[in-house]
Amino acid sequence: MSSMLLRRLALFALACSTITLASAAPACPPSTPTVTFADLWQGYVTGNPYRDPANGGVPPGFGNQCAIRLSVTLHRLGVEMRSFTPANVTVKPGNVFGRILLDGKFTAVRADQMGSWLARRPFCGLPARPEDITGRDWQARIRGRTGIIAFDGYWARTGESAARASGGHIDLWNGSRLTNHGMAGSLLNGLRFALGIQDPWIPLYSDLRRAKTILFFEIR
């Protein structure tokens, strides 16, 4: 075999290996950190991170801060959420884009919009697409797995009927329960996941199984 032929074969092999490496490149943004579930769970921010600097109280309309808590958790892990813009979020008809600035970083206000942004895989560690686990058996489908879970349309805002409920929630799932958000969160987790009581007659307690959509973002 001539040296010229050997050289051409070597160049062809090099080109093929280059193509293989390029096709195997990760789909998540290369400039973002890789987030693990252990990072999220251990660093999860509790309480109400967004407060009025003048009096330290929770501003009107911001009593439900689940999306804010998750945003601040990501901030602390190096995810600055620069891509959390109207161009990368689906806003439902009749709603507005919900975003505030905390420590100079974009912060989500609404759970459904946070979930919409996560579905675009804005940082490494997220799956290529979320898993739709909508249904009364959602717990069984993800038992033993970890990640972020988003519930949409299971509690009614002021003026809404149960059939038109638009309230949602976004949280971490450790394989058996959600995060504990204060004493109330610990109580709800105990009722839901330890005792299996999904729909007791308790004010402000909503049945997660009634969510119109439940999306699971598996993170290991």
7-27: pLDDT as tens digits: 544 443 333 333 233 333 346
- pLDDT number for residue 193: 77
Tokens of 58: 């929770």
- pLDDT number for residue 186: 74
3-state secondary structure of 133: coil
- pLDDT number for residue 198: 73
pLDDT digits (tens, 9 = 90+) for 85-106: 999 999 999 899 999 999 999 9
- pLDDT number for residue 205: 66
pTM (2 decimals)? 0.82
What are the E-state strand segments in the chain?
Answer: 99-102, 105-108, 131-132, 147-155, 167-173, 213-218
Return the CATH architecture of domain 37-218: Alpha-Beta Complex (3.90)
113's enclosing H/E stretch is helix 111-118
- pLDDT number for residue 58: 96
User: Which residue ranges of the chain lie beneath pLDDT 50?
Assistant: 1, 5-6, 8-26
| Cα–Cα distance for residue pair 163/171, rounded to 1 Å | 23
- pLDDT number for residue 214: 98
- pLDDT number for residue 200: 56
Q: Residue written as tokens 């010229």?
A: 4
- pLDDT number for residue 59: 96
